[in-house]
Every structure is written in C-alpha cells, then in structure tokens.
Amino acid sequence: MTKSVLCGALVSLPLLFFSCGSDNVHNDRSDLSLRGNVKSVTEKQFHAVVADDGEVVKGAFFRTNGEWDFMEKFNKDGMFTSISFLDRDGDTISKSIYEYDDKGKLASKSFYDPTLKMRSEYEYDSQGRVKLAYDFDEDGDLMLATSTEYNDDNLIETSTTFNKQGKYLRQSVSQKNKKGFVTDYKFYNEERKLGNWRKETHADDGKLIEMSVLNQDETVAFVVKYLYNKQGDLTSSEPLSENDEYLADRYVYEYDKKSNWRRRIHFKGDSAYSVTERVIEYY
C-alpha cells in the first residue's frame, strides 16, 4: 500500500485519540536532566565489586539482557542528533540518526545496524504535534504507519499502528492532566486486548513519582514509588505493594562541576549491582 492510500485508510477510520509522542515542550537534553550546553554523553556500565575496604568499584563490563554502552549526541538546541550503541572497545554496533525540519521538529530517524535497516518519517498537525509516523525498511518500502489523534477537551491522546496493508496492529491510549503529564496509559495488542495498564502520578516538574500497574479486572498488580535528588536524578524506586518480590533500586551519584553525574552506583536491595561511568562533552 502506498503512503497516500494508507493515509486515506487511517483518516477513514472512526475517530481515535492517541499520542505516539510528546508535544516536544522540553528538549532531549533537559528531559535527561542534563545541565549546561552538553554536546555528547557516553555511558559505560560495569559489574559492581565491593573491595575489602567496603568501597564499591567497577568490575568487568556489564552485559545483561542485551544492554550495551552508548553515546548520545545533541545539537545546540538540545535535541538528539544520534544515539550509538557501543561494544566494549567503544566501537559502534548500531546507530540512530535524527534529522529536523526548518521548524526544529523531528523530520526523520534512521536506524543503522550497521547498514540502514529502518527509517521513520513524521508529519505534524497545525499545533506542531505528531499526527502521522511512517516506518520504512532498508529498501524504502513502507512497513508500518501510526496515526495520532488528540481529544483536547478530554486531554486524551490515542495512537494506532497499522501494517502496510492497513491492518490494525496495536493501540495506546493516554489520559493526561492539564499540565500534559500522563495519568492513565493503556496499551492494546493485535487482538485488541488490554496488554498493559498503568496509572501515573507526576510532580509539578513532570517527574514520575508513583506508578501503579493494573490487571485487566482493575485490581492493582503492583505500585512503585520514585524519589529524586536536588539535581533531578532518580535516587530510588521502591515497591509499595505487599507480597511483591520486586527489589528496591537505589542510586548513588558523583557529579561534575556542571552538576551532571559522571559516576552512578546502582544497588538492588542491599547489594551493589552495577557501576556506570559517564564522559560528558560540552560545546
């Protein structure tokens, strides 16, 4: 199906209200709580080792569940220009390249692994919000399209994804408060069954402070509380629900002169789990 035909198929559907992204009020750099005119951030993660004197030091490179080291690069407007995943030698394994239009809106994102594998392109409504996103394969053929509709009266955003034949694949519905922060999020799978449901509470600055994951029968599966330090970095995530095997996570940081963290120790329960080191380059 061509892009124009698929677009027509999306428009002809019953009105669906969904968001596949934010309104881009904040830039990528500030969303990561980075201070100063940061040009790039490189993170490397290691297993945590407790030395004889009790100090937590870095051990071997950390490789669990497909996690890799990475480098994020930003333009002077604070938006991503690329995100690269790295091997232990610092060589690029895969990379996403971001391109913007003359209004500073994200126009496309291309994923390389190591050659081009997928390219996404975006269209916006009159208020500068994403209304359509298209995913193309390495040959430039359309794979997926996501339609985003906004119900401004009820602060609901609904996003629906279709394959190239126009067949429904998935949908998410986000209820937001007047500040634009998500309070209720639901994800529906290909069978249109509820696959994920969570409720969120945010601080005035938008940081997530409590999340409840619900079952389909509206009972609460678990609740997690999040705490942050004065720099805006996450210091703990703690389960509040009873009989939950989820271990509390705790984070301890060291900072540079710009108050950006350069070293982070992650504890799971009472045990040191990992050490992450950052190299930050400024403009």
pLDDT classification of 247: cutoffs 50, 70, 90: confident
Q: How confident is the model at residue 243 (pLDDT cuts 50, 70, 90)?
A: low
4-25 burial code (b ≥16 CB/10 A, e <16): eebbebbeeeeebbbbbeeebe
Average pLDDT value for residue range 54-67: 84
pTM of the model: 0.84
Least confident piece of the model among 20-24, 28-32, 42-46 = 20-24
Q: Bridge partners of 154? A: none
Residue 15, SS3?
A: coil
Cis peptide bond upstream of 14, omega within 30: no
| Section 73-91 average pLDDT | 94
Containing domain of residue 237, as a range? 3-282
Q: Which of 1-10, 82-91, 162-171, 211-220 has the lowest mean pLDDT?
A: 1-10
pLDDT at 94 over 60: yes
State yes or no: pLDDT of 201 exceeds 90: yes
What is the percentage of the chain residues whose pLDDT exceeds 70? 88
Question: pLDDT value at position 62?
Answer: 86
Q: Does position 19 have pLDDT exceeding 70, yes or no? A: no
Tokens, residue 38: 């940061």
Average pLDDT over residues 192-199: 96
- Give the pLDDT of residue 10: 37
Place 244 in a pLDDT band, splitting at 50, 70 and 90: low
Higher pLDDT, 11 or 43: 43
Q: How many domains is the chain built from?
A: 1
142-145: long-range pairs with CB below 8 Å, 24+: 142/1, 142/2, 142/3, 142/6, 143/118, 144/169, 145/3, 145/6, 145/7, 145/10
| 3-class SS of residue 202 | strand
pLDDT tens track for 35-52 = 999 999 999 999 999 999
- For residue 245, pLDDT over 90 is answered with no
Average pLDDT over residues 77-85: 97
Share of the chain above pLDDT 90, in %: 79
pLDDT of 65 higher than 70: no
Lowest mean pLDDT segment, chosen from 18-32, 93-107, 130-144 = 18-32
Is 50 exceeded by the pLDDT of residue 139? yes
Closest among 46, 34, 42 to 84, alpha carbons compared: 42
pLDDT reported for residue 157: 97
- The arithmetic mean of pLDDT across residues 71-79, rounded, is 97
> Distance between CA 56 and CA 271 in Å, rounded?
10
How many other CB atoms sit within 10 Å of the CB of residue 192? 10
- pLDDT band at 96, cuts 50/70/90? very high
CB atoms within 10 A of CB 178: 6
**CATH code, domain with 202:** 2.40.160
Cα separation, 117 vs 101, whole angstroms: 22
